[in-house]
Amino acid sequence: MVGGKSLWDSVSDKDTKKKDKEPEKDKGKVSEIKSLLGDDNSPRFSIKSGGDDRQALLYETYNNIQGIVTGIRQEAAKVIIGQDDVLEQMLIAIFCDSHALLEGFPGLGKTLTVRTLSSIMDLKFRRIQCTPDLMPSDVMGTYIVDADSSGRKSFRFEEGPVFTNVLLADEINRATPKSQSSLLEAMQERQVTVGNESRKLDKPFFVLATQNPIEMEGTYPLPEAQVDRFLLKIMVKYPTFEDEDLIVSRYAMG
């Protein structure tokens, strides 16, 4: 949250009219970006034929996004120590309306970084712990039998964790190919099909998946079709000695 307002709400507002008045100092860059994205969260640029107009718009876009990224980094630094490159690449994937795959050893803060970023941007967050017995219905949802007060029974659709804004697929390579493939439609079409009915997902929708490179036993390589859905593969490295010292100092003090 910045200035009491959701960062994403500031980005995805449908109002495209340019404000004549100067924005308040606290909201500044965050409020200016709202006209740059369309209803489907994709960039909405109106590039004129003149080179000067195009260049001016590109500069304005860069400055607006830079202000938002600076605010996110300042908030993330209160929780995450180091991993600046990881955070930057995650933001690139999100602003490009795509997905990212994080690969790194256990204990490097992959899950914490995703959860923190979701909280800062005020996005609904759900997590899937991928295991070999994970079923597609555990991801997408399923129909259940529901009975009313009169005892009359009917089918009701129970939404799965995929109905969210940010979906963390933790250790995605531990899920079977069948379960991994259940995310293909969601990642590409922003919808899921259960039975004969397709259901739209919430907007925005991002999949941030993690995998552990050191354990191959009991894992399933991601199919090429799914790897292609990720815009970036982010390598999460060990923190520096200075960052480790700061981590110990911060958490030792409570």
Give tens-digit pLDDT for 47-73: 444 456 777 877 777 777 788 888 888
Q: Does the pLDDT value for residue 39 go beyond 70?
A: no
Mean pLDDT, the chain, as a whole number?
Answer: 79
Query: Is position 25 within any domain?
Result: yes
Assess whether 197 and 105 both reside in one domain: yes
Residue 108 is part of a domain; what is its CATH number? 3.40.50.300
Query: Is position 221 within any domain?
Result: yes
Q: Which helix (H) or strand (E) holds 111?
A: helix 110-120
Number of domains in the chain: 2
Assess whether 34 and 66 both reside in one domain: yes
Assess whether 137 and 191 both reside in one domain: yes
Evaluate whether 165 touches 118 at the Cβ level (below 8 Å): yes
Listed ranges 46-55, 158-167, 212-221; the one with the highest mean pLDDT: 158-167
**Cα–Cα distance for residue pair 186/191, rounded to 1 Å:** 5
Query: Is position 224 within any domain?
Result: yes
Average pLDDT over residues 77-102: 90
Residue 179 lies in domain:
84-252
Assess whether 219 and 125 both reside in one domain: yes
Assess whether 53 and 121 both reside in one domain: no
Query: Is position 207 within any domain?
Result: yes
Assess whether 131 and 42 both reside in one domain: no
| pLDDT value, residue 166 | 94
Assess whether 179 and 92 both reside in one domain: yes
**Cα–Cα distance for residue pair 235/90, rounded to 1 Å:** 11
Assess whether 176 and 229 both reside in one domain: yes
Assess whether 168 and 246 both reside in one domain: yes
| pLDDT value, residue 208 | 94
Q: What is the pLDDT of residues 141-153, one digit of tens each?
A: 888 888 777 878 8
Q: Which residue has the higher pLDDT, 147 or 21?
A: 147
Assess whether 65 and 94 both reside in one domain: no
Query: Is position 228 within any domain?
Result: yes
Query: Is position 2 within any domain?
Result: no
Least confident of 61-75, 159-173, 220-234: 61-75
237-245 — which CB contacts under 8 Å span 24+ positions?
237/104, 237/108, 238/105, 238/108, 239/81, 239/82, 239/83, 239/108, 240/82, 243/81, 243/82
User: Model pTM greater than 0.85?
Assistant: no
Query: Is position 236 within any domain?
Result: yes
Query: Is position 1 within any domain?
Result: no
Q: Does the pLDDT value for residue 35 go beyond 50?
A: no
Assess whether 46 and 97 both reside in one domain: no
Q: Does the pLDDT value for residue 38 go beyond 50?
A: no
Q: Does the pLDDT value for residue 22 go beyond 60?
A: no
Assess whether 100 and 52 both reside in one domain: no
Domain closes at, from 76, 98, 128: 76
User: Euclidean distance between the first and final Cα of the chain, in Å?
Assistant: 24
For residues 212-229, one letter each, b for 16 or more C-beta atoms within 10 angstroms of the residue's C-beta and e for the rest, the string is beeeeeebbebeeebeeb
Q: Is the peptide bond before 177 cis (omega within 30 degrees of 0)?
A: no
Least confident of 98-107, 141-150, 202-211: 141-150
Tokens of residue 99, six digits: 């997905």
Banded model confidence at residue 161, pLDDT cuts 50, 70, 90: very high
